[in-house]
Structure 1
Amino acid sequence: MKLKISDKKRKFINRIYKLTLVFIGLVIVVFNDTFGKLEGFVEFIVFYFIIVFITIAHWLFKQIKSIIKLKNEKAKTELMHLKSQVNPHFFFNMLNNLYGLVDKDAKKAQELILQLSDMMRYSIYEGEKETVLLSEEVTYLENYIELHKMRYLKTIDIQFNIEMKDNDYEIMPLLFIILLENAFKHGVENLRKNAYVHIHLLAQNNKVSFEIENNFDSSEDKHEKGIGLNNLKRRLELVYPKNHKLIFSKTDTMYKAKLNITL
């Protein structure tokens, strides 16, 4: 990429050099033919520098436009790569669970496969889009929760409160799943009893607020901010650079994440 820019600079310098030579030649002609006519000479100089200024301005405009285009393309490529990283380890773990469940409970394994298939379809096809309807994202989260209910043999207190007071909004896909996945991975996964995941989604006045809280076993506290959260933070920076706030809070047994987005 740098070679292309330097080539353009070289062409621009050559162009200015040629114009300067032409200018010098014309100056010599003017002095030979109209020496003493200062007014005409000044007008000629002004005209020349106007041409030079226009040439420089045009070149700078093209350079800025090219840089912005390259940055946008780079951001889109990075965003696509980040989206492709969402959920692969979840699907991998679920397939391992299904493998062990096939012989024990074939019917339950079939239900899990159908549920997992719907989630994979959404993740692959809808996840490639720039935006999806908030209601579609909610359905995806609900399927994820149902899948985990079928997977675990223990009782889990799961509450998902949804308040969508305006028309259905369009948002970036796979936006909340990482926060939900972390709640199960770091909370429910390690708790033998009394596990809970409480979620509240509020959408109104072109704002979306997603809050999730879960308890966890303090003796197995490994709440590290790994690839998933870094992925989410980077996608938010790319799509909602100045219109989001991601807040985390924690006690000895409780972890809470809150994401606010202005659309």
Structure 2
Amino acid sequence: MKLNISDRKKKVINRMYKITLVIIGMVIVLFNDTFGRLEGFVEFLALYFILILITVAYWIFKQIKSIIQLKNEKEKTELLHLKSQVNPHFFFNTLNNLYGLMEKDSKAREMVLKLSDMMRYSIYEGDKEWVTIKEEVDYLKNYIELQDLRYHKKSDIQFSVQVVNFEVKVMPLLFIILVENAFKHGLENLEKNAYIHMNLSESNNTVNFEIENNFEIRHNSDHQGIGLKNLKRRLALVYPKKHTLTIDEANNKYKVALTIKIK
């Protein structure tokens, strides 16, 4: 009578079981002389399996710890992203200015359009993993123009862009913290001669951003506050060993230079 597949499997298993018993028996005989008696060998096997269990438990612990760390890093990144967005007070202050401009200044519509573009970008594009440099540049230009309209003071604001490939992808909301700090700690507190000079360049898969502003010392205590700390953390997570961030503060001048290797 022919054996079916199930019977064949059972037969193979039984043979493997018998062979295993024979091998174990041979091993016991061979090691019996070495250990002097069977009990010593059994103790050796018990110790051996205990070590294996400890090793497996340690490996499982490391895997669980790694998963928890990855989850925590993801949560931290999401939190840092939320905190890296433009200060909500800026939107409220700008909207308050709009009420006074609607009936007496034609630039009100322009401000509303720019503000809506910024809010759209911050909410929708800011959730993406990557955006193009062109999108970041447009966002920065809207922010700079709105701030220039908002303060109504004579100042020297320059934003130079030299980009070879505007389609190069970068982390969203990457430069806005530095720009916002320059306005908040510099131009906002200076009565005259305020300036902010910015330069963004890209070539050979390298992005450089430099920004310099002047300030009054008594208003500069928070220049390196939570925004800059979050930026450093985000850079460390997204561009590990592929970026440099230098800060120079001297003679009432504050300068930041950021370089990123895209590949």
Structure 1 residues 36 and 148, CA gap change in structure 2 (3 angstroms): closer
Measure, in 2, the Cα distance between the counterparts of 1:43 and 1:170: 63
Measure, in 2, the Cα distance between the counterparts of 1:229 and 1:189: 18
The CA deviation at 1:128 is 1.1
The CA deviation at 1:114 is 1.4
Measure, in 2, the Cα distance between the counterparts of 1:238 and 1:104: 47
The CA deviation at 1:173 is 1.0
Please identify, of 225-234 and 34-43, the stretch whose mean Cα deviation from structure 2 is larger: 34-43
**Contact 1:156 / 1:196 at 8 angstroms: preserved in 2?**
yes
User: Is 1:79–2:72 an aligned residue pair?
Assistant: no
Cα deviation, 1:175-210, whole Å, max 9, x if unaligned, reads 110111111122222334433221112223332221
Measure, in 1, the Cα distance between the counterparts of 2:258 and 2:168: 16
Which residues of 2 match residues 215-230 of structure 1 at below 5 A? 215-217=214-216, 220-222=219-221, 224-230=223-229
Runs of 5+ in structure 2 lacking a partner? 1-20
User: Is 1:93–2:89 an aligned residue pair?
Assistant: no
Structure 1 residues 124 and 35, CA gap change in structure 2 (3 angstroms): closer
Measure, in 2, the Cα distance between the counterparts of 1:135 and 1:207: 15
**Contact 2:102 / 2:108 at 8 angstroms: preserved in 1?**
yes
**Contact 1:135 / 1:168 at 8 angstroms: preserved in 2?**
yes
**Contact 2:32 / 2:41 at 8 angstroms: preserved in 1?**
no
Cα deviation, 1:195-249, whole Å, max 9, x if unaligned, reads 3221112223332221001223456555532222222222223223433222211
- Residue 160 of structure 1 corresponds to 159
Residue from 50, 66, 69 that aligns with 2:67: 69
| Corresponding residue SS for 1:127 | helix
Cα deviation, 1:10-46, whole Å, max 9, x if unaligned, reads xxxxxxxxxxxxxxxx9xxx7xx96995479699888
- Residue 3 of structure 1 corresponds to none
Measure, in 2, the Cα distance between the counterparts of 1:247 and 1:37: 69
Which residues of 2 match residues 1-263 of structure 1 at below 5 A? 37-38=32-33, 55-85=53-83, 86-87=85-86, 88-105=88-105, 107-166=106-165, 168-217=167-216, 220-222=219-221, 224-263=223-262
Aligned length: 233
Structure 1 residues 108 and 49, CA gap change in structure 2 (3 angstroms): same
The CA deviation at 1:143 is 1.3
Structure 2 letter corresponding to 1:65: Q
**Contact 2:133 / 2:166 at 8 angstroms: preserved in 1?**
no
| Corresponding residue SS for 1:168 | coil
The CA deviation at 1:150 is 2.8
Runs of 5+ in structure 1 lacking a partner? 1-25
Measure, in 1, the Cα distance between the counterparts of 2:111 and 2:250: 34
The CA deviation at 1:163 is 2.4
The CA deviation at 1:134 is 2.0
Same amino acid, percent of matched pairs: 48
Structure 1 residues 202 and 51, CA gap change in structure 2 (3 angstroms): farther
- RMSD value, Cα: 3.4
- Residue 8 of structure 1 corresponds to none
Structure 1 residues 234 and 93, CA gap change in structure 2 (3 angstroms): farther
**Contact 1:209 / 1:258 at 8 angstroms: preserved in 2?**
yes
The CA deviation at 1:256 is 0.9
Structure 2 letter corresponding to 1:60: Y
Please identify, of 250-259 and 149-158, the stretch whose mean Cα deviation from structure 2 is larger: 149-158
Instruction: Work out which of the two has the higher radius of gyration on C-alpha atoms and give 1 or 2.
Output: 2
The CA deviation at 1:99 is 3.5
TM-score with structure 2 length normalisation?
0.73
